[in-house]
Amino acid sequence: MGINAERADGTVIAKADGRIDSSNSREFHSELEAVVADSDAALVLDFEDVAYISSAGMRVILLTAKSLQKSGTKFALCSMDDSIREVFKISGFDKIIEIHHSQAEALSAVSA
């Protein structure tokens, strides 16, 4: 698991890869916190290269969403494969966090 991040016009685009599970969820959380600066207006977390996410990883996403909401930072997820998207849907996370099919859609949504 790793995160590659880039910034564009106040938006952080963080691309996660591999598996996100209990063995690396703390590292995942730390890396997410590290890529978001106080001055960032939005975070897009791209799941294109994520093969699996466990409940521990989902918890990190929820904690991140709550933290960003408190600071007024927009947050969206994108590019999930169908099985991961289904996990987010079944858990109800799709009602809490915006999920988009592509990075372009997510960037458009958070910049609106």
pLDDT at 40: 77
Distance separating alpha carbons of residues 110 and 87, to the nearest angstrom:
23
Q: Where are the domains of the chain?
A: 2-111
- Residue-wise pLDDT for 5-63, tens only, equals 998 888 999 999 999 999 999 999 999 988 887 657 899 999 999 999 999 999 999 99
Distance between CA atoms of 77 and 55, rounded to whole angstroms? 16
CATH class of the domain defined by 2-111: alpha beta
What's the rounded Cα separation, in Å, for the pair 20 and 94?
Answer: 18
Tokens of 91: 């858990």
For residue 2, what pLDDT is reported?
86
pTM of the model: 0.94
Residue-level pLDDT at 38? 67
How would you label 54-63 residue by residue, b for 16+ Cβ within 10 Å and e otherwise?
Answer: bebbbebbee
pLDDT score at 8:
84
Task: Work out the average pLDDT over 90-101.
Answer: 96
Mean per-residue pLDDT, 103-111? 96
